[in-house]
């Protein structure tokens, strides 16, 4: 069975080094799981994306006004990056791309002057699958406060030492949540629907429910995923 690659990139805007390093660890973990499960899927890092400030929009939320990049802009950039990769003479079997962002995802409703928010989003463009996943919902309030504490030059060494210990714990939770989120999106990209089993394809109502989901697919979902990979007809141009 030929290997199928998923292009991986991330938007640098608003993403600090600590979470960026954790993100790459999660991508490596996903690739190891694919190998352990005998799945002919691998993430291939392309490069990072930096969006110009001119694309920023201001969205009103319950917590106040939030600056972010609209989902449509992120999708356009990811689609262009994927097309560039697919048009190379030595292009690999890759017609999918995953973009991770550290800010909320929002898209303007075409009928009303409001924005709809998303955790993850997928769309198809002429045989190209574009996936976007926000890491923001996987960050706990404690993680954000801890990062701010460690970045502050006025915090005492004793407090920073305690914050470092807390950070290790919070990062493990963040990485587990993100890994399951990535596996969920990959499942959709290869034809899986939501299910009600103990499975990453079972969408949670709360982040606490997400923490209880296993890092993996249930037997029916894994069977369907492997079957979909076997019958895939995608080949590079």
CA distances from 22 to 167, 169, 214 (A): 12, 12, 19
pLDDT tens string 90-120 = 778 899 999 999 998 888 766 655 667 778 9
* Residue written as token pair 């048009």: 87
Buried b (16+ CB within 10 A) or exposed e, 83-101: eebbeeeeebebbbbbbbb
Residue 54 per-residue DSSP state: G
Rg (CA), the chain: 19
Q: 53 exposed, middle or buried (CB, 10 Å; 0-12, 13-18, 19+)?
A: exposed
Where do the domains of the chain lie, and which CATH numbers do they carry? 4-230 (3.40.390.10)
Counting Cα atoms < 13 Å in the Cβ hemisphere of 223 gives 3
Q: What is the mean pLDDT of residues 57-75?
A: 85
Beta pairing partners, 105: 118
pTM reported for the whole predicted model:
0.92
Residue 191 per-residue DSSP state: T
pLDDT tens string 139-175 = 999 999 999 999 888 888 888 899 999 999 999 999 9
pLDDT tens string 175-211 = 999 999 999 999 999 999 999 999 999 999 999 999 9
Mean pLDDT of the chain: 91
Both tokens assigned to 72: 């449509």
């Amino acid at each position: 069975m030929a290997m199928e690659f998923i292009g991986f990139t991330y938007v640098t805007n608003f993403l600090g080094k600590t979470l960026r390093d954790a993100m790459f660890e999660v991508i490596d973990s996903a690739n190891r799981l694919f190998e352990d499960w005998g799945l002919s899927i691998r993430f291939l890092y392309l490069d990072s994306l930096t969006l110009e400030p001119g694309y920023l929009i201001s969205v009103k939320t319950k917590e106040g006004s939030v600056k972010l990049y609209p989902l449509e802009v992120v999708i356009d950039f990811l689609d262009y990056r994927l097309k560039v990769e697919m048009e190379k003479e030595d292009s690999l079997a890759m017609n999918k791309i995953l973009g991770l962002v550290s800010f909320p995802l929002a898209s303007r409703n075409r009928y009303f002057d409001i924005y709809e928010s998303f955790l993850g989003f997928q769309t198809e463009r002429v045989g190209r699958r574009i996936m976007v996943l926000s890491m923001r919902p996987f960050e706990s309030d404690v993680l954000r406060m801890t990062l701010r504490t460690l970045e502050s030059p006025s915090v005492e060494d004793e407090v920073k030492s305690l914050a470092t210990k807390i950070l290790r714990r919070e990062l493990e939770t963040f990485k587990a949540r993100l890994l399951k989120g990535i596996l969920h999106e990959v499942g959709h990209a290869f034809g899986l629907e939501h299910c009600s089993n103990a499975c990453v394809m079972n969408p949670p109502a709360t982040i606490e429910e997400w923490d209880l989901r296993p890092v993996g697919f249930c037997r029916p979902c894994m069977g369907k995923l492997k079957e979909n990979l076997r019958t895939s007809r995608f080949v590079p141009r």
